[in-house]
Amino acid sequence: MIAFDALMQERSVTLAARRLKVQQPAMSHTLSTLRTLFDDELFVRVKQTMEPTHRALELHDPIRKVLAQAQDVLRAGQPFDPLRSDRQFRIGMTNGIEVLLLPELSTELRQVAPNVSLSARSVDPGDAADLLDAGELDLVVGCYNRPNSWQRGELLFEEGVTCCFNPELLRCANPIGLQTYVETPHAVVSLNGDLWGCLRPGLEEIEAKLNIVASGPNFLSVLMIARDSPMLTTLPTRIAEAYAPLFGLATSRVPLPFSPNPISMSWPMRADQEPGSIWLRSRIRSASFVRSRQRTEFAAE
């Protein structure tokens, strides 16, 4: 199963052998054995890569789950020493969380866990649960739905939204009034090309419309649009606080009753008591961007 997984990941006998630290003939022999066991080619050469067959694709998710469970069983009885561990943690995040979490977390790891590595990827909310189940991720952080019953989740904070604009190009009162807010051209973040982008659910909930004229695939691109054009943009408050000043943008409260978005982390139930997972979750809880939002919310209460 380990060899099969390596072949699926690398799509190359040579690279899979290197990944498992074995000689290429040994990996070729293992592939031959796999083909006999499953009565299928499993991998066929297409140009420079080994592409999986339909049977291999069917096997991939179940095998990943079994390997993830076995790995967690082996880790469960072992203490986690961040100073000595060379473990790689794999984290999924929704758009925007990476620019808040990764710089601080990476810096801290270099200080307290110098041999631990961090692999992060952007994950659509609809894919998060399956990636945790398959063992491809150890943890997800961001605006995710309630996890499945066999997964664990924890609310980190609830995030509001803040309006940003270039005061040199868009001269308006601050805080921005309702009429100005709904009539002024607006740029938003959109992950799927929808012009309303990430604001669509919130706008539909309060039955409001904005003059949205542009969208970008991430927060940085939208901040640059607002920097160079007489337009508004509405972003998660923590993103606006951290990055609007870097782009010379002013910030304003939003004059519409948007509901706050829950920002949470989720992980597999099988890893709930695993020492390394416990340690990673504690690092995320102590991150300054999490604690700063919690302090703001507690003060408001």
Tokens of 136: 């491809």
pLDDT per position as a tens digit, 45-60: 888 888 999 998 888 8
> Which residues are CB-neighbours of 63 under 8 A, at least 6 positions away?
1, 4, 5
Residues 232 and 181 in one domain: yes
Range of 285's domain? Answer: 88-155+263-300
Residues counted in the chain: 301
**Is the pLDDT at 294 greater than 90, yes or no?**
no
Average pLDDT over residues 123-152: 83
Instruction: Write the CATH number for 71.
Output: 1.10.10.10
Q: What is the pTM of this model?
A: 0.69
Asked which of 25, 55, 76 is the last residue of a domain, the reply is 76
Pairing of strands 49-52, 43-46: antiparallel
In a domain, 66, yes or no: yes
In a domain, 223, yes or no: yes
Residues 94 and 230 in one domain: no
Find out whether 237 and 161 touch, Cβ atoms under 8 Å: yes
**Is the pLDDT at 297 greater than 50, yes or no?**
no
Find out whether 175 and 255 touch, Cβ atoms under 8 Å: yes
Instruction: Write the CATH number for 205.
Output: 3.40.190.10
**Is the pLDDT at 149 greater than 80, yes or no?**
no
Residues 165 and 232 in one domain: yes
In a domain, 83, yes or no: no
Q: What is the pLDDT of residue 76?
A: 60
In a domain, 230, yes or no: yes
**pLDDT above 90: percentage of residues in the chain:** 39
How many domains are there within the chain? 3
In a domain, 82, yes or no: no
Question: Which of 53-62, 84-93, 197-206, 250-259 is predicted with the least confidence, judged by mean pLDDT?
Answer: 197-206
In a domain, 258, yes or no: no
Find out whether 51 and 44 touch, Cβ atoms under 8 Å: yes
In a domain, 43, yes or no: yes
Average of per-residue pLDDT values in the chain: 86
Task: Return the amino acid letter for 252.
Answer: S
- Measure the CA–CA gap between 196 and 190, rounded to whole angstroms: 7
Q: What are residue 88's DSSP bridge partners?
A: 117
Average pLDDT over residues 84-97: 88
In a domain, 81, yes or no: no
Query: Which of 22-26, 142-146, 200-204, 249-253 is modeled with the greatest confidence?
Result: 249-253
Report helix, strand or coil for 223.
helix
Q: What are residue 45's DSSP bridge partners?
A: 50
- Measure the CA–CA gap between 52 and 64, rounded to whole angstroms: 15
